[in-house]
Structure 1
Amino acid sequence: MLPVPRHLDSRFESAETDDDVLVEVLYQEFGASLLRHVRKATGNDLQWAEDVVQETIVRAWRNAGKLHREPGLLWAWLLTVARRIVIDGRRRRGARPQEVEPADADAVSVPDASEQALEAMIVADALRDLSEEHREVIEHTYLRDRTISEAAEILGIPPGTVKSRLYYGIRALRGILKERGVAS
């Protein structure tokens, strides 16, 4: 509890008629002590503590007609209100993500699929240079995600032939891409 000197009683009594005088007296007499107390409650966040003290005094001003003018009771009321404001602030901060500065628009990376699209176009063009037999087995196995057996059944050829054509087709495709400077 904050010790309140006896000389304050007369100042609080004169503040009974004027609410603005009350606010001034509260700031002068309790502001520094309240700020020290609130800084501890806010984790030593000076800006937040100053906001809490200001809001506490504003609430005292709004409720000036209801306040007991005895310094000890005023101090207890101010501490209670300040504590509740801090609790409300903690709840708000917990319920909402902490705000951050927006990133510079030039620094934000945007996913770009242009390289993948270019590679797909080059591979599609290289596939056209393969023989029809090799292109068919590559399309059925790699592009349509079919098994060797499924591709063999659709194409009407034995599975061993699909494997052979796939092996030589992929080898030819790598050679074409290497010529074009795409594969190593």
Structure 2
Amino acid sequence: RPWLRGLTDQPSDTGRPVADHAEHLVDEWVINEALNRIGEEQRQALTETYLRDRPYADVAAEVGIPVGTLRSRVFYGLKALRAALDEMGVTL
């Protein structure tokens, strides 16, 4: 459909083409779905350190755990996240 092809070339209100915006939304949904499939402690560790870009020391102090424990949760959380993405059929 010619009119549909033209829509994907139109910038959205974010300044990106609609196709890029849609792809971003799908990526965001996939990451959130994968995060929901891992344990709460690992999800929190990844969310705070990777997504919110907070220092390990700050996150560990806030949660009340040693920095080494937080690092362990991040390490195993990344492994679990990769497994969840594989399970969902997502390749990196």
Q: Same fold (TM over 0.5)?
A: yes
Query: Per the alignment, in what secondary structure is the counterpart of residue 68 of structure 2?
Result: helix
Whichever residue aligns with residue 29 of structure 2, its letter is M
Find the counterpart in structure 2 of residue 126 from structure 1: 34
Corresponding position: 1:179 with 2:87:
yes
| Percent of aligned positions that are identical | 40
Find the counterpart in structure 1 of residue 57 from structure 2: 149
* TM-score, scaled to structure 1: 0.40
Structure 1 stretches of at least 4 aligned residues deviating more than 4 Å after TM superposition: none
- Of 162-171 and 136-145, deviating more is 136-145
Higher relative contact order (CA 8 A, sep 6+): 2
Query: Per the alignment, in what secondary structure is the counterpart of residue 139 of structure 1?
Result: helix
8 A contact 1:174–1:183 mirrored in 2: no
* TM-score, scaled to structure 2: 0.77
The number of equivalent residue pairs is 78
Superposed CA RMSD? 1.5
* Structure 1 unmatched runs, 5+: 1-105
- Structure 1 residue 109 displacement after superposition: 2.7
CA distance in 2, matches of 1:117, 1:145: 20
